[in-house]
Amino acid sequence: MQPTVIAPSILSANFARLGEEVDRVLAAGADWVHFDVMDNHYVPNLTIGPMVCEALRKHGVAAPIDVHLMVEPVDRIVPDFAKAGASLISFHPEASAHVHRTVQLIKAHGCQAGLVLNPATPVEALEWVLEDLDLVLLMSVNPGFGGQAFIPSALAKLRRVREMIDRSGKPIRLEIDGGVKADNIGQIAAAGADTFVAGSAIFNAPDYAEVIYRMKAAVAA
Ligand code: DX5
Ligand code: ZN
């Protein structure tokens, strides 16, 4: 198991003051910045691209930027995000014609690579590529929007993927994304996640530090 990471999704931040919001959440104890990229094609919403990632780096953000690509096709945007300062780049297998090639492309650009499974995507999608990955991201909502409810079947899926990762013996992170709150994160951690994305639970709270503290305490319990 890797050390716990809390990765606030800036999808729920105030975009009119994004730099400030990211500074605040990192000062409040967040470990990574989760950066949701939506293209109004692979998912029914449109968000932010490499320019915003670059702007955060220029603003002085030093923490890992965890880019979650919900775009199709994937490959042509990978070099742009690497240049813009992405640390990790994750993508959905449904959005890439050649999953293995995309993983190698991300790594060749100096980033860590993650594969994202939607709630109904079978864990078998990981089988032939798992050992090349730095991270597996399980969606516990359907991608496209913040503020949705956690889909309970994600817990059983986390346990399955935790076993696969442990069997591989590789230091692969297991990240969960969607509906994570201070009151369900303990259960999610017990099912095997070590990296937690939370958007609305953090950015809709009046005190970011208090929520992040409660989340870390529940994971450690
Ligand atoms: C959904 C995104 C998530 C989302 C999580 O497509 O990938 O990162 O912002 O938001 P919450 O934590 O509000 O479910
Ligand atoms: Zn995400």
> Residue 125's domain is classified under what CATH number?
3.20.20.70
The number of distinct structural domains making up the chain is 1
pLDDT tens by residue, 117-163: 999 999 999 999 999 999 999 999 999 999 999 999 999 999 999 99
According to the model, what pLDDT value does residue 152 have? 98
Residue 53: pLDDT band with limits 50, 70, 90: very high
- DSSP conformation class of 2: P
- pLDDT (0 to 100) of residue 213: 98
CA distances to 11, 59, 119, 146 from 19, in Å: 13, 7, 31, 19
pLDDT tens digits along 190-210: 999 999 999 999 999 999 999
Take residue 67 and report the two structure tokens written for it. 């880019």
100 appears as a binding residue in the annotation: no
Burial 105-123 (b: 16+ CB within 10 A, else e): bbbebebbbbbbbeeebeb
pLDDT computed for residue 1 by the predictor: 80
Percent of the chain's residues with pLDDT above 90: 100
Could you report the per-residue pLDDT of 5-31, keeping only the tens digit for each? Answer: 999 999 999 999 999 999 999 999 999
Q: Is 75 a catalytic residue?
A: no
Q: What is the mean pLDDT of residues 177-181?
A: 98
ipTM reported for the complex surpasses 0.95: yes
Q: Is 110 marked within a binding site?
A: no
Q: Best substitution site from 5, 6, 9 to test ligand 1's pocket, by max atoms within 8 Å of Cβ?
A: 9
Contact between 161 and 174 (Cβ < 8 Å): yes
CB 127 within 8 A of CB 165: no
Range of the domain at 60: 5-220
CA–CA distance, 14 with 214 (Å, rounded to integer): 22
Indicate the pLDDT class of residue 85, thresholds 50, 70 and 90: very high
